[in-house]
Amino acid sequence: MAKKLYVGNLSYNTTEEGLRNLFSGFGSVASAKIITDRETGNSKGFGFIEMSTDEEASAAIAGTNGREFEGRQLRVNEAMDKPRRDRGAGGGYNNW
């Protein structure tokens, strides 16, 4: 089963292809995604890698966390699920 990894402190010039190439040395990369700003399209300096197996993910964390890549020291760990937001009474005028 694939395991998703968080990759932080990326250079703003890092590409998804460059990220994929870095992690492919540790196994099969199922996906690579750099998070960008909706309005500007610029990188936010972090992304996600999905490795094909838990063993490959562990090897990738061990081999890249703290490693310098494109002038920045990477922070790599297992990605956490995004908490669900309550869609209840949020701001606005009709908030009783």
The mean pLDDT value of the chain amounts to: 91
CA 46 to CA 55: how far, in whole Å? 22
> Regarding predicted confidence, which is higher, 31 or 86?
31
**What is the CATH superfamily name and number for domain 3-78?**
RRM (RNA recognition motif) domain (3.30.70.330)
pTM for this predicted structure: 0.83
Cβ atoms of 30 and 2 closer than 8 Å: yes
Domain ranges of the chain: 3-78
3-state SS of the chain? CCEEEEEECCCCCCCHHHHHHHHHCCCCEEEEEEEECCCCCCEEEEEEEEECCHHHHHHHHHHHCCCEECCEECEEEECCCCCCCCCCCCCCCCCC
